[in-house]
Amino acid sequence: MRNLFPVLLLALALPACGEGGTDPENPNMDEARSDKQRVTSPNVSDQDLATQVAGNSAFAFDLYQELRAQDKGNLFYSPYSISAALAMVHGGARGATETQSEQVMHYRLAQARLHPVFNKIDLELESRGQGKKAADGQPFRLRVANAVWGQRDYHFEQAYLDTIAVNYGAGLRLMDFASQPEPSRKVINQWVEQETESRIKDLIPQGAIDAATRFVLTNAVYFNAAWADQLEEEATRDGAFNLLDGSTVTVPMMSGEIRASYVDAGDYAAAALPYDGHELSMVLIVPRSGRFDAVEATLTGGAIDALVQQLGTAHVRLKLPRFEFETDYTLNRHLEALGMTDAFSAAKADFSGITGNRELYIGLVKHKAFIKVNEQGTEAAAATAVVMPGSAMPEVKELTVDRPFIFLIRDHATGVIVFVGRVVDPS
């Protein structure tokens, strides 16, 4: 079995490696490490950055439309984690496999320009929140981590190892999938758990890595930030939340007046709730009663950009349910439905840029995510695995989120959408 997983696992079939080394975090694990260091100040134009951020946003809502068609419950995922993980895979794609990857993932730059942009975004995100607070009272955290895992004694192209080292900070960690698949799975899952502060556990399910696994790519994103204006726990009261079927559930409803951005767009109201430092915010989209499906159907990356441009400064008298949930997605069929078909076919996949041959294909793409929103702020984590085989006082606006809503967590400076979600039942 060749598999694809949640952080992003890619299972490939490969034949010896680059220069061996030792992983400083695990002295018992060898690495096929490039002698090149990660570029910490990538030379990326503003135009290239904007072009690919728009591409990432387009994929974010292509996937949203796919997921909502199949799942009527709560949704939550990190489109950035998925895009970054598959960008590492894309680095080895060639021919029709590369073309389909470009189209589905909206990779709008040539490979030589694409990977430095992802490096730039990673570094930008990790620079956020200096000196600011997290929801747990600790320092603000926004971390992006990448790791690549390959079968010992198989050949990996040096140019590919250089690409992932320079742009993703990832050395190829050498594993013995062939004779120790289960211990290998546990090592990868432990890495994911550590990088997400134990919020994403058992990303790769038992049996998903076997003796045929040759290559696994993983990406993990962890976010923990306090609201710029925290809500008082004493103000939280049980309240009614209206479900799509007309029934109601009782949930803890937080409330308070905060400084935010707001727009009444007719079919929906939206507000951007800033986190400490005002570098990221949670954008809430609350459709009017009876308009949820219609609003959802219009969501695209371009629509979100237009919405953000309409937001104006306001004081918002907010009522928002406290919520916490986890999600678990196998993305193979969704990516195939969007047009990325050859990558999952043993007969058609071309990842020769990774190994020099066409033995590898994607067996499974798995994604897990976690979200917790309370009076203090937000904690969110996601992992993807690919196994290959102040001014003048504004008018006070009211936003009572007592019905299903859509939300996203967005970086202001780059426009990167880090997380996307839907809450139809916060209970």
374-394, pLDDT tens digit by residue?
A: 999 999 999 999 999 833 445
148-199, pLDDT tens digit by residue?
A: 999 998 899 999 999 999 999 998 999 999 999 999 999 999 999 999 999 9
**312 & 333 share domain:** no
**250 & 280 share domain:** yes
105-152, pLDDT tens digit by residue?
A: 999 999 999 999 999 999 999 999 999 999 999 999 999 999 999 999
Average of per-residue pLDDT across 233-254: 96
Average of per-residue pLDDT across 213-236: 96
**179 & 199 share domain:** yes
- What CATH number is attached to the domain comprising 363? 3.30.497.10
| Percentage of the chain exceeding pLDDT 70 | 91
47-60, pLDDT tens digit by residue?
A: 999 999 999 999 99
Q: Is the pLDDT of residue 11 over 80?
A: no
| Segment among 6-10, 76-80, 232-236, 420-424 with least mean pLDDT | 6-10
Cα–Cα distance measured from residue 162 to residue 296, given in angstroms and rounded to the nearest whole number: 41
Q: Could you tell me the pLDDT band of residue 86, with boundaries at 50, 70 and 90?
A: very high
Check residue 404 and give its pLDDT.
95
Average of per-residue pLDDT across 402-422: 95
Q: How far is CA 245 from CA 72, 292, 424, in A?
A: 11, 11, 10
Count of the separate structural domains present in the chain: 2
**190 & 279 share domain:** no
**143 & 169 share domain:** yes
Residue 73 structural domain: 4-226+325-388
Check residue 34 and give its pLDDT.
74
Q: Could you tell me the pLDDT band of residue 273, with boundaries at 50, 70 and 90?
A: very high
**134 & 83 share domain:** yes
**106 & 139 share domain:** yes
Q: Is the pLDDT of residue 251 over 50?
A: yes
- What CATH number is attached to the domain comprising 273? 2.30.39.10
**60 & 198 share domain:** yes
**212 & 73 share domain:** yes
Check residue 29 and give its pLDDT.
57
**249 & 360 share domain:** no
| pTM for the model | 0.91
**192 & 58 share domain:** yes
**129 & 186 share domain:** yes
